[in-house]
């Protein structure tokens, strides 16, 4: 298959995991669309269902505030009694660690999943299996990063996305643990199947046409993967009128809004300076979102 990666993990055509969708030998746009439809229908029909929120991918348009939302959700989950594991799966944005109060940089997870990495052949693992140096911790929160594109000619982010995908798929969580992923902007990670094994997709939406359109596309892709818990979070909302108008537009996409993070100067300063989040009001707003999630709120 060359560089082709089967979304269902089949190493070759007609393997046990192959559903004969035709994607690996599709030559035209129409054939690829039809193959994609077959994959979505298969995943919907065979996706595991769970009532427990454990692996949460936070997605959205670039600049919508995903990183800030992840930092706030981390604090809110912690206050709710969960042991939080945060993964920075964005290959460009460097701010999440600082917003969590992390000092220094851990080794990138992509080193563990490279061809000669320690986890290259690992089928399952827990946080206890991850070697020292790859995890940073502060106030009980454990933080990891897949890696960053730092230099020209370093290549594409495919290997970093593959590392994120393997973590979502293979990490066994213990009771009380929750995994939060700050995903790369847009929908490319869905094309790579990174979020397939998440049980929850949170889409951060700012009040803009582009953000609402991207949110609708993300929701469609997430549901096509068979992910049943998909919801939206309004961010950077400066007025009730703006919130109402954005909600009206989101209703057209079928997305359920789980909560609102209002714009405030303190939170904006945190994002600008790359310092730990300290807005009590914003953490409480994130807590409302978590409550909606755990009560089964989704589209």
For the residues of 113-133, what is the DSSP string, one character each? HSTTSTTTT-S-B-GGGSPTT
Is this structure's pTM higher than 0.85? no
Report d(CA 6, CA 12) in Å as an integer.
8
Our measurement of the distance from residue 13's CA atom to the centroid of its chain's CA atoms, rounded to an integer in Å, reads 30
> 254: Cβ–Cβ under 8 A, 6 or more apart, which residues?
216, 219, 299
% of residues, the chain, pLDDT over 90: 40
Residue 209 is predicted with a pLDDT of 92
Going by pLDDT thresholds of 50, 70 and 90, the confidence category of residue 292 is: very high
Alpha-carbon dihedral 173, 179, 184, 186, rounded to 10 degrees: 100
pLDDT tens digits, one per residue of 210-240: 999 999 999 988 888 888 899 999 999 989 9
Q: 242 or 8: whose pLDDT is higher?
A: 242
Whether the predicted pLDDT of 1 surpasses 50: no
Report d(CA 42, CA 21) in Å as an integer.
9
Q: CA of 283: how far to CAs of 13, 70, 167, 261, in Å?
A: 49, 11, 27, 9
Residue 32 neighbours by CB distance under 10 Å: 14
Tell me the three state secondary structure of residue 234: strand
> 25: Cβ–Cβ under 8 A, 6 or more apart, which residues?
13
What is the assigned CATH class of domain 55-294? alpha beta
Q: Where are the chain's structural domains?
A: 1-46, 55-294
């Amino acid at each position: 298959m060359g560089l082709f990666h089967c979304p269902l993990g089949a190493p070759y055509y007609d393997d046990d995991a192959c559903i004969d969708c035709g994607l690996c030998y599709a030559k035209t746009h129409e054939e690829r669309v039809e193959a994609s439809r077959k994959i979505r229908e298969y995943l919907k029909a065979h996706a595991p269902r769970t009532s427990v929120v454990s692996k949460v991918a936070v997605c959205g348009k670039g600049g919508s505030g995903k990183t800030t939302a992840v930092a706030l959700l981390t604090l809110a989950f912690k206050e709710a009694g969960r042991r939080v594991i945060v993964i920075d799966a964005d290959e460009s944005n460097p701010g999440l660690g600082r917003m969590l109060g992390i000092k220094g940089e851990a080794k990138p997870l992509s080193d563990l999943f490279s061809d000669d990495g320690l986890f290259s052949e690992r089928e399952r693992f827990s946080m206890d299996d991850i070697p020292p140096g790859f995890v940073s911790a502060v106030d009980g929160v454990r933080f990891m990063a897949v890696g960053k594109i730092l230099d020209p000619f370093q290549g594409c982010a495919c290997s970093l996305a593959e590392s994120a995908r393997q973590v979502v798929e293979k990490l066994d969580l213990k009771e009380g643990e929750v995994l939060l992923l700050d995903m790369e902007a847009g929908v490319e990670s869905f094309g790579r199947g990174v979020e397939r094994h998440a049980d929850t997709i949170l889409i951060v939406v700012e009040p803009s046409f582009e953000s609402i359109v991207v949110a609708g596309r993300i929701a469609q892709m997430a549901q096509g993967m068979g992910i049943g818990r998909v919801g939206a979070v309004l961010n950077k909302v400066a007025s009730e009128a703006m919130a109402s108008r954005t909600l009206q537009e989101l209703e057209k996409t079928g997305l359920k809004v789980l909560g609102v993070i209002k714009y405030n100067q303190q939170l904006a300063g945190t994002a600008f300076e790359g310092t730990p989040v300290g807005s009590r009001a914003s953490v409480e707003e994130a807590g409302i979102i978590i409550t909606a999630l755990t009560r089964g709120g989704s589209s």
